[in-house]
Amino acid sequence: MRHRLQAVEVSGSKPLPCSGKAVAIYGNCPAETKFTLPVASTQSSCAEELARVGWLTIGHLATHGFAVQVKLLRADKPQLRDRKEGGWLSYHVAGGAITLLDKGDEPKEGERRRGPLDF
C-alpha cells in the first residue's frame, strides 16, 4: 500500500545538510538512514552541477514493514553554505511517499482500515 505525502513549498524552507542521519517512525518501528548529498562549488554553478530532483529512502519494506521516500528539489540559487564542506546547500524537502507492507489483515467487525495519517 502506497500513500503520497503532502507536497511542501520549497521557497522559504531550510535546505538539508550535505550529510546527516534521517529517522522515520511508523507505529512502534523506527528506521534510520545516513545520507550524503552533493553540494555545489559555487552559487551560480548549482544548476549545471546538480540534478534537479533527488530521492532519499528511509526504511526497508521487508525489514521495517515500511519505507519512506522523501522527494528533494534543488534550489536554483542556494542561500546557505555548509560550514564544514564549504559548498552550497541546494536540496529542499518537497514531498514524497510512504509504502506500507500489506499483511492482508482484514479489519474486525465495525472497524475500518486505517491509513498512516489517521489519528
Q: Could you tell me the pTM of the whole model?
A: 0.78
Q: What is the pLDDT of residue 22?
A: 94
Q: What is the pLDDT of residue 109?
A: 60
Return the biggest CA–CA distance within the chain. Answer: 60
Q: What is the residue extent of each domain of the chain?
A: 2-100
Tens digits of residue pLDDT in 40-77: 888 888 888 899 999 999 999 888 889 999 999 998 88
